[in-house]
Amino acid sequence: MGQISRPLSLVEKLKQESVQDFINRFLWNKSNNAPFVVELDPTTACNLACHDCISANLLNQGGIDNERLLRLAEEFAESGVRAVVLIGGGEPMAHPKFGALVSSLYQSGIKVGVTTNGTLMHRYMDECITMTSWLRVSVDAGSEEVFADFRPHASGKSQFNLVIDNMRRMAERKTGLLGYSFLLLSKFNSDGSLLRSNAVDIEKAARLAKDIGCDYFEVKPAFDMMHFLQQQDLSVVEMVNRNLKAIHELADDNFKIIAPFTLEEALKGVGTQIKPYNRCLTAELRTVITPSGAYVCPYHRGNLNMRIGDVAKTSLEELWKGDRRAQVMTRVDPAKHCTFHCIRHESNLLLERMAAGEVVDTVPDFDLFI
């Protein structure tokens, strides 16, 4: 019988030979001209109208200029960026140059990961199949009815069957990993009482994910607009636990059921995560670039106090080595600014131990998306 597992450890990823080489050559003296990994939002456009979108205040405000986006891909290659996650913000495939961007990154030897709502995959199926290390679809439902309720399309027509058909097509020929993401969502009455939750669809979605040919099915907790874990109604907690138990048997060597640590924390009602350090070393290794500017990390996307520059006006190297970024990085204090659950908290703990002299046994490269 299979078992429910955690995602591949980000701490273990830091031990890879290429990552350790980068850390030891560049991190301590801050001599690198670019981050190791970039999260890139090509556009803020989105064709869904989700009531709970954590990026709602950032949506539909334009995208990175076509020519600038492709030049940025060249700068990534020239400056040593090793992996790029295309995400949002908006829906990355809504950018007209998405296919050309993926191709440029791939041809340069940069690893490409994509997070998408799945509605536009058919436009770029060849790139999705042959050029991505992984592609994760945010479905958040296992039926057309629940999908239409929690992931409505701007047109009013459900896109569920289109998304599932796109995933099936990719699964038939994929070279990278294909993931089915299920974000735990709830709707409430005006008095604050629970109206309904998509948790009713967890088992149905997991079985569908395996039938499609996905490599994994992941149940994740929702966060509020300030990135704190949303507190769950007791009935939802019971529903989630019941569904996780029901899908336990689906896991095998070719299909994983993933329930991250943050889901456990959300179901237990844990609201904050204490940080015993006052700098973010992970932010020296990765950053997020969006149409509105570049920020220290995805959790601070759109936060002007954490904005480190603008690639529309400067090159990647100028942004990374610029005074603005240096000032912001000096000001960032995770113990003060990041009391929410950060998935790279354990990574920062390891990096702090390394900074204090701990020697890490390296492992061969297996996944550069640190």
User: What ranges do the domains of the chain cover?
Assistant: 4-355
Predicted TM-score (pTM) of the model is: 0.95
- DSSP assignment of 173-220 equals H-SSEEEEEEE--EEE-TTS-EEEEGGGGHHHHHHHHHHHT-SEEEEE
Q: How confident is the model at residue 72 (pLDDT cuts 50, 70, 90)?
A: very high
Residue 363 has pLDDT above 90, yes or no: yes
Superfamily holding 4-355:
Aldolase class I (3.20.20.70)
> What element of type H or E holds 328?
helix 323-331
- DSSP assignment of 216-260 equals EEEEE--B-TTSPBPP--HHHHHHHHHHHHHHGGG-BTTBEEE--
In the sheet that 293-295 helps form, which strands lie side by side, from edge to edge? 4-5, 256-258, 216-220, 177-183, 134-138, 111-116, 83-86, 37-40, 286-290, 293-295, 307-309
Q: How confident is the model at residue 5 (pLDDT cuts 50, 70, 90)?
A: low
For the segment 236-264, the average pLDDT, to the nearest whole number, is 95
How do 293-295 and 286-290 pair as beta strands?
antiparallel
How buried is residue 361: exposed, middle or buried, by Cβ count under 10 Å (0-12/13-18/19+)? exposed
C-alpha distances out from residue 121 to 8, 57, 127, 141, Å: 25, 25, 9, 18
Q: What is the dihedral of CA 36, 258, 207, 145, to 10 degrees?
A: -80
- Tell me the H-state helices in 289-322: 316-321
- Give the span between the Cα atoms of 239 and 23, in whole angstroms: 43
∠ CA 7-265-186 to the nearest 5 degrees?
Answer: 95
Residue 197 has pLDDT above 90, yes or no: yes
How do 307-309 and 293-295 pair as beta strands?
antiparallel
Cβ count within 10 A of residue 271: 14
- Over residues 110-164, the pLDDT tens digits come to 999 999 999 999 999 999 999 999 999 999 999 999 999 999 987 888 999 999 9
- Tell me the H-state helices in 38-97: 66-79
- Give the span between the Cα atoms of 52 and 188, in whole angstroms: 11
Rounded to whole angstroms, the maximal C-alpha distance in the chain is: 57
Phi-psi region of 293 (alpha: psi -120 to 50; beta: other; left: phi over 0): left
- DSSP assignment of 81-132 equals --EEEE--SS-GGGSTTHHHHHHHHHHTT-EEEEEE-STTGGGGHHHHHHH-
Question: Mean of the per-residue pLDDT values for the chain?
Answer: 94
Q: Which amino acid is at 117?
A: N
Q: How confident is the model at residue 45 (pLDDT cuts 50, 70, 90)?
A: very high
- Over residues 288-337, the pLDDT tens digits come to 999 999 999 999 999 999 999 999 999 999 999 999 999 999 999 999 99
Q: Which amino acid is at 328?
A: V
Residue 2 has pLDDT above 60, yes or no: no
- Over residues 171-186, the pLDDT tens digits come to 999 999 999 999 999 9
Nearest-CA neighbor of 201 among 162, 245, 259, 240? 240
pLDDT (0 to 100) of residue 288 = 97
